[in-house]
Every structure is written in C-alpha cells, then in structure tokens.
Amino acid sequence: MPGFGQIPASRRGTEVHFAPPFPVAGPLLAPSPAWTGEAASGFSSSPSDPERTTAKPAARLLVPPGQFYKKKLNVGVAAAANDGGTLIGGIDRVRFRYEGATVDVLEPSAFTFPDSNGNEVTYWGYWVTLSKLPGTVGEAQLYAEVVPADATMQARVIGPYSFFPAKKLHDAEYTVDPDDAVSSTNFHSFDDALAQVKSDAAANPRVTFKKAMNNVAMSFIPPTFTPSGYVTVEAKAPVTFGRTALTTTASVDSDSNLRPRLNGLWLKGGNITVDYAYVDNLYSEGGKEFVLDGITMTNSRGPNALWRGGPYWTGSRVRNSPYFLEVSASNLENIAVAASLVRGGVFANLSRDIFADVRCLVGTRVETHDDTPFNDDAPAFTVHYTGTQSTATIARSGTVDPNNATYTFKWGGNSASFTVGKQPADYAGTDADGYLFAEVVDFINTVLASQDSGWSATLNDTQGRRASSGSLAGLKAQGFGDTNCKSAPLDIVSSFDAHGDWYQQRFNTISENVIAYDNVAYDMQSQNIFISSTSDAKDFVFFNNALGNDPVGSDYFSETSVFSQIGRSGTATTISHVVIAHCSMPNQTLSFRNDGVPSTFDSYCLVANNALRGLVKNGTAPIDAKITGNHLLAGSNPLAEAVATTTGGSATDLFADFTIGDFLPAGALLSNLKVPVVTRNQAGVQRLPVAPAGAI
C-alpha cells in the first residue's frame, strides 16, 4: 500500500482529466428527495455538535468545503480517539449526513487519487463519495458525526459544510492573455479579469492564464467579493504572483500584501507560483478561506531574507485559516500558521513557526528548518570613546527587538540619546530618530563627535539590519544597561531571538480538536510538538509523525536543551484527551509540564509507543494519563507513571538515517517490539501483532 500523502507535487502543472471510472473513495451519498436545492432543506432538523463535557474524537475534513461538482466528489474525514490506551478501533463509525440522507463508514481506508498536478497521493481517513440527486442542483449541507468506541466519550459533529451539485463545474470562464484582444472574457491583467468576475457575480468562476507572466499583481480593488464556490485560478504556462520591490511608505505593511478583496480564491496547479520576496501576506478578507492547491510558494531572495531590516512581520503567509493541498513551499517563515488543513506537500528551508495552530496536518514533509541567521549574534557596529572624560558608556533600552529602542550615551557628566523604531513609519523616516544601524553610527560620528571628538563608531553591519535588534554578545537580543566603551572598543551585535516550532498551540487560539498524522520532518532547529498554551488543550491527537532535529545545533539551539512539551509551567490549564502515539523523535525529549501551578492531565490522555530521546516531567503533581510502550535512548530514566518503557541505543543507531528523513527502525527498536496502538505505520503498511515503537 502506498504511503499516506508522501509524494510531492510536481513543480509544473499538467491538466488532469479523470479517466472513467471516476475513483470512488467510499459509499455513494446523494441528498435525500426532500432537498429542494436550498441549504438545509433536506433535513427535518439539522444536526448539532453537543457541548463538550468530556472527551471527544478529534475530527477534521480532508478536503476544502464549498466545492462544486457535476457528478461525484470524494470527501474524507480524518478522525481518531483513544479507546482505553489504543487508537485501534477508537472510532466506532463516522456517520455522514447529507441533506436528509445518511451513510455510516465503519472503518478508515487509504484512498489514492491524482492531485492537481497528476501525481498519485494517498491519505488515510473515513471517505464518502458525494453524488447528485437527479434533476436538482444547488447548495447542500454535509455533516459528519464521529462516534467514539469508548461509551464514556461524546460524539463530535462537524459541519455544516456546503457542497454544490451543479450542471456545470464553472458557471463562468475568463482568460488572461496579453496577446489576445480585450473582451468581456479575456483580459491583459489579472486585476482586470477579477474586476469582471466581481461585476458578473459568478458563483464558481475560473480564470485561466494563457501565457507566462511574472510579478502579477493582486490589487486592493473594491468591492470585496465572496462567490458561492471559489474563484479558481489556473495557468497554461508559468505564472508568478508577486511584487518587484518593497514598499517604502509610512503606512502599515499591508501595502505589501497581495490583497485582491476576495474570499474563496483557489490557486491551482504547479504552473502557479507565489513569490514572497517583496510580499508580506496573501490576504483573505475572511468568510471563505483561500485554497493553495499544488502551487509553489517561495521567496526568491532566499531563506532568512530580511524584511525592512528584520524578520518578515507576517504572522502567517496566508491570512486567516487557508487550505494547503500538496504545495511546494521553500524559503519562508510562518508558512502555514492557523491553516484549516495542510495536506501533503514538501516544505523546505523554513524558519520560525511551521504548522502552528493547524487544525488538520496530514502527510507533509519538512526538509530543513533553521533560525540561526536570525539568532546568532551578527556584527552591527563598534563604538569607542577616546576623549578626555574618565568614563563613557552606551546602553540600549527595551527587551528583544522592541518597537522603540533608545541608545543612551554617557561620558563624564554628559549624555545624549538616539531613538530607533521598527515600524513602517520609522523605516520611511517619518517617525523616531532612525531605523538602521548605519543611522546610529552616523549619529555617533557626527552629532556626538561634534560635542566631543573622542566619540567614534564603525559600521560592521553588511545586511542593512534595523537597530532595534542591537544587543551585546551572548545576551540573546536583549537590551543592555550602561556598558563601558572607554577602556576598549565595544562591539554591538544584532539578534532577533526568533525561534520556531514544528507544531505549536499558540496562546489564546485553538484549544480543541486538532489531528496530525503521517508527517515527516528532519534537520529542524525547533521544538517539535509544543502543546503548551495559556489555554486548555482538548482532543489533540498526534500519531505516526517522524520528527528529527539538527544534531549539530548552534549557539541558540541544542538537541539536549530544547524539548517538546505538553502543559505549561505555572498555568492551571486542562489537558484532556491529548494523544501522542507512534511518533519518532530521535533527538528530542518530551516533557510533561506539571510544575508550579500545574496543568491537569485527564485519563483520556495517552502517550504510547513513541521512540524518543527521553520522557520527563517537570513537577511533582500527578499525571493521570496512560504512558506506555515508549522507547527511550540509552541512559534515559523511565517515568514512574510509565509502564512498559524500554531503553537502549542512540539516535543514530535506532534509525536508518533520521538526519536525511529516513526513520526506518533499527537496533534496539527492532529488539524491543511492542503491541501497536495504531493499525498502520507511516508508510501505510499494516503493523504486525508486535512492532517497533515510533512512526514506522
């Protein structure tokens, strides 16, 4: 059986036409005869999700909702739940309800289909095939009721999700072809085509680029438009969306967004690239998410490029909660934060957060994550006072890269200051005294030197970094107090203290219903699984994930000092039905944070059959979780709460070569077999009655 979603999308598009028969994923499900074409008209009463009073399954869609279809459409649900210490059989059934019609799917299956670039991909889930009610088209609502096997848990109902049985897949077609005459359906720019789409108010239109184009704009042109379905964009030749230069206005960074005043944009196929070199964010207005389907996302300026002299401001490269389907992404930071779904795809040369707050994360591959260029001390400038005063100091106010930082210079009984900022207005020169280290150096060599010729400075910064990042070596980007620059030249360095996580539950964001499985990542300088927010974590299920870290490290990152963790020190959060099972983390320890005011772990929590560097807890409060069948590196001490823990081997001899993403088990993993708690391994192979701990 093929692996689940591990085949990367091709870089260039291919038109895909399903050859008959259509690949049917599961049982057919059409709306009931009571459905009139109006949403919810087929239900006598619409399903609803009960208020959570105890654990529920984790369950999310494996496809974007809101799609039109002519005949059939495959829809999957990713679902899992702990059933007394195992995920095997943890779901009794997934009951799909579609406008009054119902079908039960009793078992998950691996469904293989061609992605938007014609590559076969496979994903494990509960699949159904939506079909049509003869003679009726319109908006139909789908719900999925996920019923746990454990009778003490509640069912979870997800939905409603709108789908659209239709006579035509696209009710309006437009082209962008600069070599053809402008008409009501052909345009010389994407902005003009989109303006016509908005004017026509098409329900599910498609815009097709006929010729290769670069630096295609998405301009802020009213009104905001939300189609019933999506505005699908495809290309017959390579097309790149982007900008040619960084904006230098004093307004907000949204000047550099790609913001088409649109909801429901679907970028489709490998001929489409979004280049973030001079783009902060692909901006959805909200209400219907964007879909990135088989496209390339990159920064042509390379990994760790600076934005206005520092890390890019964006909290996420696509605003709100988009869908990523088999994308190819590289040289980006905060690539998929808060996504509804990240399915498949290859993500390379990343920095800062990768999949923070993603709701459903399945079958992805991460190749290299490195925050070193943002974190290691970079030379900024050297300052020296050689004048007649007996003392001279420099200080920088604030903490890490603050919005405003003041450099204060004192010599004898004299003092002077220079304030730098990091906002767009500071960059544009309309606020603060300056922005760049070059401006601080110029202040020292002109203003200060005019008051006392003993002051001098040399610029060491070659990157054009912002001066708010100034610090002293080893302080990890913090400000500093009065520091002697009289007795010897003083080197000021630059650092941004940027660090990332493979998966992080961010503060005060998502607190319930997350599922992540069959993912691979290697060569990362990150915390891997960080379920450690100031809010609760309920029904977070992670399994069959193989996550390897950079064994060499840097001044900022060491495999021995960076931990994955569940719970948060000093925060009385509820940790309920959090599951980490059959995950491989060869060189990262998993920590239960139950110190200080401890988090509370309930009995639905499960940490089982993982292959880890170590497994520790940071406090003495009890952990009411089942911890069983884990394998730790030689020399690790099993937790008192854990059972069936084995130890032995090193990170390098327990796996074929995790440093390049090969997590095949070896050594002590093969001689300490466990009763599995997940049916199939990450490669899609049925596990034997006893099998290695870890993802494979």
> Taking residues 571-597, what's their average pLDDT?
92
Place of tokens 């619409």: 46
pLDDT at 428: 77
Cβ–Cβ under 8 Å, residues 663 and 643:
no
Q: Pick from 322, 325, 311, 239: which is nearest to 287 by CA?
A: 322
Between residues 304 and 103, the one the model is more confident about: 103
* DSSP state string for 382-408: EEEE-SSSS-EEEEE-SSSS-SEEEEE
Peptide bond into 598 cis (omega under 30): no
Q: Indicate whether 23 pLDDT > 90.
A: no
Q: What are the residue ranges spanned by the domains of the chain?
A: 28-165, 170-345, 351-372+512-696, 377-494
Q: Pick from 504, 499, 500, 512: which is nearest to 357 by CA?
A: 504
471-525 residue pLDDT tens: 999 999 999 999 999 999 999 999 998 889 999 998 778 999 999 999 999 999 9
Q: What are phi and psi of 469, to 5 degrees?
A: -90, 5
Cβ–Cβ under 8 Å, residues 532 and 505:
yes
Task: List the structure tokens of 542.
Answer: 């992670």
Sequence-ordered list of residues with C-beta below 8 angstroms from that of 137, at least 6 positions apart, any chain:
37, 164, 165, 166, 167
Q: Pick from 612, 553, 544: which is nearest to 579 by CA?
A: 544
In the chain, the percentage of residues whose pLDDT exceeds 70 is: 95
Task: List the structure tokens of 501.
Answer: 């996580």
pLDDT at 15: 36
Q: Indicate whether 8 pLDDT > 70.
A: no
What SS3 string covers 650-694?
Answer: CCCCCEEEHHHCEEEECCHHHHCCECCCCCECCCCCECCCCECCC
Q: Indicate whether 311 pLDDT > 50.
A: yes
Instruction: Give the end-to-end CA distance of the chain in Å, rounded to a whole number.
Output: 14
Question: What CATH number does the domain located at 28-165 have?
Answer: 2.60.40.10
Task: List the structure tokens of 525.
Answer: 């300088």
Peptide bond into 21 cis (omega under 30): yes
Task: List the structure tokens of 368.
Answer: 């290299």
Chain centroid to Cα 445, Å, comes to 45
The one-character DSSP state at 373 is H
> Taking residues 674-679, what's their average pLDDT?
98
**Residue 123, strand partner residues:** 111
pLDDT at 7: 32
Sequence-ordered list of residues with C-beta below 8 angstroms from that of 407, at least 6 positions apart, any chain:
394, 395, 396, 417, 418, 419, 420, 440, 467, 470
- Local confidence band at 304 (pLDDT 50, 70, 90 cut-offs): confident
What span, in angstroms and rounded, lies between the C-alpha atoms of 580 and 582?
Answer: 7
Q: Pick from 248, 239, 309, 313: which is nearest to 269 by CA?
A: 239
Q: What are phi and psi of 239, to 5 degrees?
A: -130, 130
Q: Indicate whether 252 pLDDT > 60.
A: no
434-467 residue pLDDT tens: 999 999 999 999 999 999 999 999 999 999 999 9
Q: Indicate whether 199 pLDDT > 50.
A: yes
Sign, Cα dihedral of 648, 650, 656, 660: positive
Q: Indicate whether 94 pLDDT > 50.
A: yes
pLDDT at 253: 58
117-136 residue pLDDT tens: 999 999 999 999 999 999 99
- Local confidence band at 13 (pLDDT 50, 70, 90 cut-offs): very low
> Taking residues 615-622, what's their average pLDDT?
87
pLDDT at 432: 67
Sequence-ordered list of residues with C-beta below 8 angstroms from that of 280, at least 6 positions apart, any chain:
253, 254, 256, 257, 307, 312, 313, 314
Sign, Cα dihedral of 451, 453, 455, 461: positive
Range in 218-222, 404-408, 489-493 the model is least confident about = 218-222
The one-character DSSP state at 639 is P
Q: Pick from 279, 337, 324: which is nearest to 305 by CA?
A: 279
The one-character DSSP state at 18 is P
Buried b / exposed e across 232-249, counting CB within 10 Å, b at 16+?
bbbbbebbbbbbeeebee
Q: Indicate whether 599 pLDDT > 90.
A: no
Q: Note the helical H segments in 133-249.
A: 190-200
Mean pLDDT is highest, among 14-18, 321-325, 474-478, for 321-325
Residue type, 230: Y
Sequence-ordered list of residues with C-beta below 8 angstroms from that of 60, at least 6 positions apart, any chain:
77, 78, 79, 158, 340, 341, 359, 360, 513, 515
pLDDT at 254: 61
- Local confidence band at 314 (pLDDT 50, 70, 90 cut-offs): confident
356-378 residue pLDDT tens: 999 999 999 999 999 989 999 99
- CA angle at residue 58 from 55 to 62, to 5 degrees? 165
Cβ–Cβ under 8 Å, residues 527 and 501:
yes
pLDDT at 12: 33
* DSSP state string for 409-450: EEETTEEEEEEEE-SHHHHHTSSSSBSBHHHHHHHIIIIIHH
The one-character DSSP state at 307 is B
| pTM of the full structure | 0.94
**Residue 657, strand partner residues:** 662
Between residues 537 and 313, the one the model is more confident about: 537
What span, in angstroms and rounded, lies between the C-alpha atoms of 414 and 412?
Answer: 6
pLDDT at 6: 34
pLDDT at 676: 98
**Side-chain-facing half-sphere of 106: CA atoms under 13 Å:** 0
